[in-house]
């Protein structure tokens, strides 16, 4: 759950309180303890939601559907519009979305964008696309090894998991984030396999590290509009290779040769029918 810090939570409550009671700051301070208790409650609930989301990743059954539709979506902090969207998406695509607790103002826009993307993937694939059983916007950031960082690791913006039927987790809800990350993770969800890194011959290897700059098809990624400092990530393994390409807003404009490479690495051919996006 996207827990805010207690200080952040307090200042929000204080601003709200001051607006409602312009001169009564002292009584706000006396309420500090009750806000602390409210935070504890929120924290306890977030643990329950996290457990339930985990259950849903591997169980699409009567129980998970019942709890999702009758309990989860009825949370008091959801507007009727958000509740309705969550139910529609769950009914139509069998995707249970867990919304960021901070309910960023973008939340409804994000749900609409996701619905549009699910429809596009369904249409392009003629119904063959695999949807994530859970899209979780409440997960803490996951670390990954990042050679470019002095710390040797970075924090992911999102991930798709092989062991949870391709469930997708992302940090926070924003339209920009979904535009940047969703197709990458959906590509993994539609390509659930465990493989090693590239075979020798395709890329140049030095000390077991793949040297992306020397690699073939670098220019093809550039042409697709993938940021230059992100391209090396594609050379981790074939799964990342196709997932990074899928981030392009104009995938269908790639050369026939590059297209064939992507298909050989596991990209479903119908993905080239996806409409361009932002």
DSSP code, position 199: P
Q: Which residue is closest to Zn ion by CB?
A: 243
Nearest approach in angstroms of CB 262 to Zn ion is 14
Ramachandran angles phi, psi of 140, nearest 5°: -65, 155
Interacting positions 241-260 with Zn ion (CB under 5 A): 243
Q: Is 234 in the site for Zn ion (CB under 5 A)?
A: no
**Cβ closest to Zn ion, residue 100 vs residue 240:** 240
- The string of DSSP codes covering 116-180 is HHHHHHHHHTTT-PPPPSEEES-PPPPEEE-TTSTTSEEE-SEEEEGGGTTEEEESS--HHHHHH
**Cβ closest to Zn ion, residue 90 vs residue 132:** 132
Closest CA to 11 of 34, 33, 28: 28
The stretch among 67-75, 93-101, 196-204, 236-244 that binds Zn ion (CB under 5 A) is 236-244
Q: 10 Å Cβ neighbour count for 174?
A: 19
**Cβ closest to Zn ion, residue 161 vs residue 240:** 240
The stretch among 10-18, 213-221, 223-231, 235-243 that binds Zn ion (CB under 5 A) is 235-243
**Cβ closest to Zn ion, residue 100 vs residue 247:** 247
Query: Longest C-alpha distance within the chain, in Å?
Result: 73
Where do contacts with Zn ion occur on this chain (CB under 5 A)? 240, 243
């Amino acid at each position: 759950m996207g827990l805010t810090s207690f200080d952040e939570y307090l200042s929000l409550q204080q601003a709200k309180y001051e607006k409602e009671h312009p001169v009564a700051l002292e009584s706000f301070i006396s309420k500090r303890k009750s806000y602390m208790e409210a935070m504890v409650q929120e924290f306890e609930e977030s643990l329950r939601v996290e457990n339930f989301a985990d259950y849903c990743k591997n169980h699409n059954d009567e129980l998970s559907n019942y709890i999702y539709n009758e309990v989860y979506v009825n949370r008091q902090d959801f507007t009727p519009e958000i509740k309705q969207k969550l139910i529609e998406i769950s009914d139509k695509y069998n995707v249970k979305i867990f919304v960021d607790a901070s309910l960023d103002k973008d939340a409804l826009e994000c749900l609409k964008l996701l619905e549009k993307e699910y429809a596009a993937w369904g249409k392009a694939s003629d119904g063959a696309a695999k949807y994530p059983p859970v899209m979780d916007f409440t997960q803490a950031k996951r670390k990954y090894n990042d050679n470019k960082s002095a710390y040797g690791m970075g924090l992911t913006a999102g991930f798709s998991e092989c062991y949870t039927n391709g469930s997708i987790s992302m940090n926070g809800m924003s339209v920009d984030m979904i535009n940047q990350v969703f197709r990458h993770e959906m590509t993994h969800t539609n390509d659930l396999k465990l493989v090693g890194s590239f075979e020798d011959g395709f890329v140049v290897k030095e000390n077991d590290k793949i040297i992306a700059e020397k690699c073939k098809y670098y220019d093809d990624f550039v042409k697709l509009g993938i940021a230059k400092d992100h391209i090396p990530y594609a050379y981790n393994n074939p799964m990342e290779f196709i997932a990074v390409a899928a981030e392009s807003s104009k995938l269908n404009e790639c050369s026939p040769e590059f297209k064939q490479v992507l298909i050989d690495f596991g990209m479903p051919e119908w993905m080239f029918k996806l409409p361009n996006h932002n």
